[in-house]
Amino acid sequence: MSEAVATRTRQPKSATRAAILQRAYEMYLAGELDPGDERLSLVLDSLGYTTGAGYQIWANQAAFRKELAVYVADNIQYASLEPIAEEAIELAMRQLPFEEHVLHAGDLFVKVYQEREDFFLSLRFFAMSSDRPEEITKSLVDAYERSTWEAEEILKSGLERFGRRFREPFTMRDLTTTLTAMLEGFSLRKRVQPDAVTQGVPWRGGKHHLFSVAFLALLIETTEAV
The Cβ of residue 122 has, within 10 Å, a number of other Cβ atoms equal to 17
User: Tell me, what's the pLDDT at 198?
Assistant: 65
- Between the alpha carbon of residue 189 and those of residues 28, 37, 164, 208, 215, the distances in Å are 21, 22, 31, 17, 16
The Cβ of residue 204 has, within 10 Å, a number of other Cβ atoms equal to 10
Element (H or E) spanning 166, and its range? strand 164-166
194 prior amide bond cis, ω within 30: no
User: Tell me, what's the pLDDT at 11?
Assistant: 58
**Model confidence over 41-63: pLDDT tens digits?**
999 999 999 988 898 999 998 88
User: Tell me, what's the pLDDT at 10?
Assistant: 54
**Model confidence over 3-14: pLDDT tens digits?**
444 444 555 688
List the chain residues with pLDDT less than 50. 1-8
User: Tell me, what's the pLDDT at 8?
Assistant: 46
Is 81:112 a contact under the CB 8 Å cutoff?
Answer: yes
User: Tell me, what's the pLDDT at 122?
Assistant: 66
pTM of the entire structure?
Answer: 0.69
